[in-house]
Amino acid sequence: MDCSMALLLSSLLALFSVGAGASLSLHVVRTKVKDLAQTMVIRIKKLDISPNLIEGMDPFLPAAAVDQHIESLPSIVETMGFYQDLLLVLDWADLKQLVEDTSTMRGLLENWMTSRCPARQQKQTGEGGLSEALKDTTRKYGLSVGPVALNRLKGYLGRLLLNLDQLNYCY
pLDDT tens per residue across span 66-82: 445 688 899 899 889 88
Q: How many angstroms separate the CA atoms of 62 and 75, rounded? A: 12
Q: What pTM was estimated for this model as a whole?
A: 0.72
Residue 22 has pLDDT above 90, yes or no: no
CATH numbers and ranges of domains, the chain: 25-162 (1.20.1250.10)
Strand, coil or helix: what is 70?
coil
Q: What is the predicted pLDDT for the residue at 33?
A: 97
pLDDT in tens, 48-62: 776 555 444 555 555
The DSSP 8-state label assigned to residue 67 in this structure reads T
Q: How many angstroms separate the CA atoms of 61 and 149, rounded? A: 7
Provide the residue count of the chain. 171
pLDDT in tens, 88-141: 888 788 899 999 999 999 999 999 999 888 776 555 444 455 556 656 655 565
